[in-house]
A and B are shown apart, each in its own frame.
Chain A
Amino acid sequence: MPLIELKNIVKKYEDGGEPTVALDGVSLEIQKGEFVAIMGPSGSGKSTLLHVLGFLDPPSSGEYKFDGKFFSEYSKEEVAHVRNRKMGFIFQAFNLLPRTSVFENVRLPLLYSDVDESKWDKLAIDAVNAVGLNHRMNHDSSQLSGGEKQRVAIARALVLGPQVIFADEPTGNLDSKSGQAIMEIIRDLNEDQGHTIILVTHETYTAEHARRLIKLKDGQIESDKAVEHRMHRDEFRK
């Protein structure tokens, strides 16, 4: 059973007057453990697709089945619960809480979860360690560099062990060096820990870490194939 199943998904925005069609009949399947990059020029609908997949934005029509259940069958509370327990989000703008420590930022999803409170500290500390920021545990998030901020965001996405991690231009606000470091972590999450990763990017070097590349154009899938020139792990570590 695929983790994600889309059938003829359409997303329209109506800002008064003419409706804009962001997604125009997208159908695809994503299995557990895949590493998918979604590319396309701006306005192609790649971010919209990610938002629909991440339960952040409901589709206008079409069928979306996540983890064996149709999106339309989830109640509002269940949608929040799925976002909390089964999905992790990494944003271009990091979206960390200001004036809040690294530890507290990573712990944030736990506050909204049904996980027993006694386990919170360990889960959060483990997640921070996993992205190598244990020495920054109690630093204020605003004191961190861009690369460190994104690592905190990754730890926050990881903390509840989600089935799928959505990354929206995770390297977009970073220089290429820290961008590569972030991609290395994301790749490890997929290869070593088996997390499903769905990544939106317009940078080829970011997309080349993925195993599968979906190209969008005008809200439709232009191509969907395995990455040909996938960077070898050892190669990009040099």
Chain B
Amino acid sequence: MKLNYTFKTAAKGLSANKSRTALTILGIVIGITAIILVMSLGEGAQNLILGQIQSIGSKTIAIVPGKQPKGVMDAMSTFTDSLKNRDLDALKNKNNIPYAGTIMPLVFGSETMVFESNAYRPTIFGATPFFSKIYNISPEEGRIFSDEEVAGYADVVVIGSKVKEELFGANNEALNKKVKIKGRNFKVVGILGTKGQSTFINFDTAAIVPYTTAQQYLFGIKYYNRIVVEADSELNVARTVEDIKITLRNSHNITNASDDDFFVETQAEAIKTVSTITNVLTLFLAAVAAISLLVGGVGIMNIMLVSVTERTREIGLRKALGATDRDILTHFLLEAIILTSVGGIIGIALGLSLAFLISLILTNYLNMAWAFSFPVLAIILGLGVSSIVGLGFGLYPARQASKKSPIEALRYE
């Protein structure tokens, strides 16, 4: 029988029992919807994170103390004190790092900030004015502290919008007021605008002070949590990374690269790491979603077996009228494939719609820089997998149908 007629016959067979067909399809719809949704959201999340990394600027290099974490147990080693003042001096030496543009030490921690009777616990960053440029933030009111204030251990602070609101209230003046951190009075010189989560740092709940002040009076440490170096051009990033490693190994008397007590992060590496993590997560979730597709496939097999038994007489008749085993096999296989393909298409449409809806909610109500992602791979995968499920789970019932002897089938009551 020609395939187009087999297709029509199969479609007619399915339409004969509409509610059963619809329920069978539902199993596949749920599976495919889940896969498409997970993959679309995964891709969206990845784009969001990558976008934030890119916003740091591709010339930026971060030096992190401790060994590069290779597993969970290494994570704590980043809180070591291996980056010290003499390292900073060595890095600032133009002979060591010729292509360095700006170098900024960074310390951070959490301390309670008090204004009158209000208290709040922001993340406190100790930095230089360069901070503003690297993270692309500038005060809405007031100013960033100056290099002189950094050199002079000045008690000045730039606060995030949420910090301001918590301590001063939404409508009250905060600029030039004094806040207390660890019993020390700091003058508010700048207030950041609302920015939301960006670059893994929520500046709304942050307070930025000169790193000198932070080291000396707030955290009582003599090392840095990060040293951020900006290369003078993107072309010189790789070169500068090497220069930094050589300089720091010299400074720390390290001869073997595996003994490094620091590691260097660039935007390119961060993108690679984050992509790997989000890809693995997305795939894992998609695999979980695929289990529901498997269940849907078993549902199809079950219904097809029932259908084959119910239509024993019809199969017998078709054989008596000249249908070959192959005709019957193709017929029932097509029914299964139509079921899964229709389910797949509905699932893709539903999954994309849900993903789009979620992206709208995230952007409009949660102010995230989320972009709806159209996962082409997932759509191809969804259609492919649903057809394969149809083939796989339809094959057994279709074979059962094709093997029926015409006379047994015609006698069947």
Q: What is A's interface to B at a CB cutoff of 8 Å?
A: 51, 54, 56-57, 76-77, 80-81, 83-85, 89, 91, 95, 97-100, 108-109, 111-113, 117, 156
Contacts and interface: CB of A to CB of B under 8 A. Distances in A.
A109 B319 CA distance: 10
Contact of B16 (A57, A99, A108, A111): A99
A81 B322 contact: yes
B5 A111 contact: yes
B319 A83 contact: yes
13 contacts: A54-B320, A56-B405, A56-B410, A57-B406, A76-B324, A84-B322, A95-B317, A95-B410, A100-B12, A111-B1, A112-B1, A112-B321, A156-B321
Given A111-B1, A111-B9, A80 B322 contact: yes
A57 B407 contact: yes
Q: Which of A51, A56, A76, A80 has the most CB of B within 10 A?
A: A80
B243 interface: no
A153 B95 CA distance: 100
A109 B2 CA distance: 12
Contact of A89 (B320, B325, B327): B320
A77 B321 CA distance: 13
Contacts of B12: 99-100
Contacts of A112: 1, 318, 321-324, 327
A54 B314 CA distance: 17
A164 B33 CA distance: 55
Contacts of B9: 111
A99 to B, nearest CB: 6
Contacts of B321: 83-84, 89, 108-109, 112, 156
Nearest to A86: B322
Contacts of B2: 111, 117
Contacts of B325: 76, 80
B313 interface: yes
Contacts of B1: 111-112
Nearest to B413: A93
Interface in B1-40: 1-2, 5, 9, 12, 16
A9 B113 CA distance: 105
Q: How many interface residues does chain B have, given as a range?
A: 20 to 34
Contacts of A109: 321-322
B407 A80 contact: no
Contacts of A56: 320, 405-407, 410
Nearest to A77: B324
Q: Which of B12, B319, B327 has the most CB of A within 10 A?
A: B319
Given A76-B324, A76-B325, A111-B5, A57 B405 contact: yes
B399 to A, nearest CB: 15
A53 to B, nearest CB: 12
A97 B324 contact: no
A81 B321 CA distance: 9
Nearest to A104: B12
Contacts of A51: 407
A91 B316 CA distance: 12
A85 B323 CA distance: 11
Contacts of B318: 108, 112
A14 to B, nearest CB: 14
A95 B313 contact: yes
Interface string B300-338: 000000000000011001111111110100000000000
Contact of B320 (A76, A83, A97): A83
A144 B313 CA distance: 20
Contacts of B313: 95
Contacts of A85: 322
A164 to B, nearest CB: 13
B1 to A, nearest CB: 5
Contacts of A83: 319-322, 406
Interface string B373-413: 00000000000000000000000000000000111001000
A76 B327 CA distance: 12
Contacts of B327: 80, 112
5 A-B pairs closest in CB distance: A84-B322, A112-B322, A80-B324, A56-B407, A57-B407
A95 B407 CA distance: 13
Nearest to A96: B317
A157 B197 CA distance: 76
B193 to A, nearest CB: 68
Contact of A80 (B314, B319, B405, B410): B319
Given A99-B16, A111-B9, A117-B2, A80 B323 contact: yes
Contacts of B410: 56, 91, 95
Contacts of A113: 322
Nearest to A80: B324
A97 B407 contact: no
Interface in B25-83: none
Given A76-B324, A85-B322, A97 B5 contact: no
A121 B382 CA distance: 40
A163 to B, nearest CB: 14
Nearest to A88: B321
Q: Which of B313, B314, B320, B405 has the most CB of A within 10 A?
A: B320
A109 to B, nearest CB: 4
Contacts of B322: 80-81, 83-85, 109, 112-113
Q: Which of A99, A112, A113 has the most CB of B within 10 A?
A: A112
A66 to B, nearest CB: 15
Contacts of A54: 320
A175 B406 CA distance: 28
